Structure formats: C-alpha cells, structure tokens
Amino acid sequence: LSFTLIHDHFGFSYDQISIAFSKLEGLGLMRSFYVEYNEFSEYVLELYAPKDPAAFSQDQIFMNLLNDVLGPRHTQDLLSLFTLDRETLNKEEVTSTFAEIYADRIFDIKGDDLYKGEPLENVVGNIKFEFDRAAFVNILTRERKILPSALSAEELKKAEQMAGLYNLTEVATAERVGDFYDALQPFGARVDFVAMNKHLQELVKYPVLSKPLRRPVQELAGESQKIKRINLMETYSPVEFLQYLNEGTKIAPADYNILTTLSHDYNLLSPVINALVYYTLYHNNNELIRALVEKNASLLARNKVTTALDALDTLERPIKKRGRAPKKAPILNDDKKEEATPQVDDLDDPIWDELKKLK
C-alpha cells in the first residue's frame, strides 16, 4: 500500500494523508519507520488495535483528552455505555457447556491436526513519550530531596502521564511533583495529582509562564507550503508570526494591542493566536479587524482549542444556519391539521466532515 495509491484511489491529498498519520502516531495507534535501500527508500507503517474500554478509562492521557473535548457530562455518558451490567445472582442458570456443543468435534481431532503455530496476540499501541524517567528521578532526588522509594510505581506512572499530557520537561515535572508532595501522607498517595492537574490547567492559559516548562513543539512532517505555515504558527510567537506575514515590517500599535488582548483576555495559546490572525487576514483582504478577531477568539476559547491545526479546522467549519421556525400548517378543516414537514439541517450531519476531507 503506497501513498500514491491512497492519493489516487481515495482522493486524499498528501497533506491530508500526512496529517492523518501524525494523529494516529500521536495516539499510539501507528508507528512509522524509514528504511533506505540502495535503489530506493520506503516508509514502513505499523498499525495497532485501539485500547479496550477498561484500559482506556485507566489512561490519564486519554481520559483528560476525552474530558477536555467532550466535557465532564458527555464523558460520563460515554463511559456509562461501557459499564458492565450487574452480575445475575440467585437465578437458575441454563447456559450450555462447551462439551455439550463441541464434544463430538473434539473426539474427531487427531494428534497431527492440532494447531502448533504461534499464538495470536492483540497488540495494542502505546503513546510515545519523550520522557526520561531516570533523569526525572535523579532531578527529583537532587533538587527536592525526594527518593524514588518514597513514590509508588503508580505515582511515577501518573507523573510521567502528566508530563506527556502537558508536554513538560523532566525538570518541570520534578518541580511540580515536589510542590504537591506530602511526606506525611500514606505511601502511594503522597502526590496530590488532582491539585497538580488543576495547577497545570491554569498555568497553560498563560503561554509566557508555561512555555519554559514545555518541550519544543513536534512539527508536522511535509514539504508543502500549508504544512510549513502551520509549523511556523506552532513555533513563532504572535509578534514574530505577524512580522513574518508583514514581510519583516514593524507591527502597528493597534495590531499589537489585538495580539495582547487575545493572549491576556481570551487566554489563547500562541499557535491558536497565529492561526486566528492568519485566518482573519486571509479572508478580509489583509485587514486585521478587531471585532471579527474577538468574535472568533470567543469561539476558539469556548472550544478549548490548543493547536494551530485545530484552530484552522474550527474556523473553517461551516456555520450552522438558524432557520426560521416552520410556519403553522393551514387548517384544512375543523378536525384535521396538516403535519409540518420537519426541516433537516444537512450541515448537522456527521457525514459533512467526511465529505469535506474528500474535496
């Protein structure tokens, strides 16, 4: 299976393929390898099965991401679909046994017919972290005087997951664990991860404070102008990005004030601000209209957008039109009324997103 085949057969652009692969890699559902031969080179892609509901619900990364996207209520509703029903007790069980159904077939099997191959295994991928646990433990011991034996294996795992969730360095993770560590608490509960998570959620609202704690952003792979521009949005500060769009000229004070408002008043991250600025200039004849910018900033803030790619996707989505309420059906006679035909909003259909990808 080649990129060219996917491009030609399904109609996906190379940018769409690259972005889709990157998202699968980020969720641990795919691993990519580059192999170089004398005559040619190729990419080897390994796809993995998703986690089962039980493992998913115990993963700090996935649960925080799901809760952030859906909200607490919808997350709980979704999890309730996979909750096991109560075990049936004090009832007469009439389930057939294995022998009752398959005994005759078992007797017909000869010794040479037994399967002797390798056992099958459902391999589930894991999220890739750039986190050095040994370095984290050394920093924690050296700087905060907390020995590795003071933390349980589960606490170390949670600390690593928090680092992956917020893209923290080993130093920043050790500092935060030390801040929320209480030696007087019982073993296994000495780090208050609930308070630590609330602290980090508040901290990421202010890019100036959180940026030194985070790892450099992983850029999207690709050579197209679109991917290069998105990578610039992820790596440049809003001032640098607007200067880049201005081809190096100085930013007007009014434009600088808009950038400050987006950061301080709307708590948007730099990549999101850059995407919003680019979107506004692109669709408004290179004018940065403050009212329009702030309107879209509210949309991005409500949707808790954190990346340039998601910001552009949110802004480019078609707006659901609010039609007028259907008129009352005319009365045909004293006893009957004509039923109004319900109006269907095609844009609310999930298939829209799939059709949009094929454009």
pLDDT tens sequence across 156-211 = 988 887 787 677 888 888 999 999 999 999 999 999 988 888 888 777 666 666 66
Burial 151-175 (b: 16+ CB within 10 A, else e): beeebbebbbbbbbbbbbbbebbbb
Q: CB of 86 within 8 A of CB of 98? A: no
Cα dihedral 152, 157, 158, 163 sign = positive
Give the model's pLDDT for residue 52. 75
3-state SS assignment for residue 32: strand
Where the chain has pLDDT below 50, the residues are 321-349, 351-352, 354-356, 358-359
Cα dihedral 54→59→61→67 (10° resolution): 50
Q: What's the count of helices (H) and strands (E) in the chain, helices before strands?
A: 18, 2
Q: CB of 181 within 8 A of CB of 190? A: yes
Give the model's pLDDT for residue 170. 86
Q: Residue 41: enclosing H or E segment and its boundaries?
A: strand 41-47
Give the model's pLDDT for residue 70. 79
Give the model's pLDDT for residue 152. 92
Facing residues of 35 across strands?
42
The pTM is what? 0.41
Give the model's pLDDT for residue 182. 93
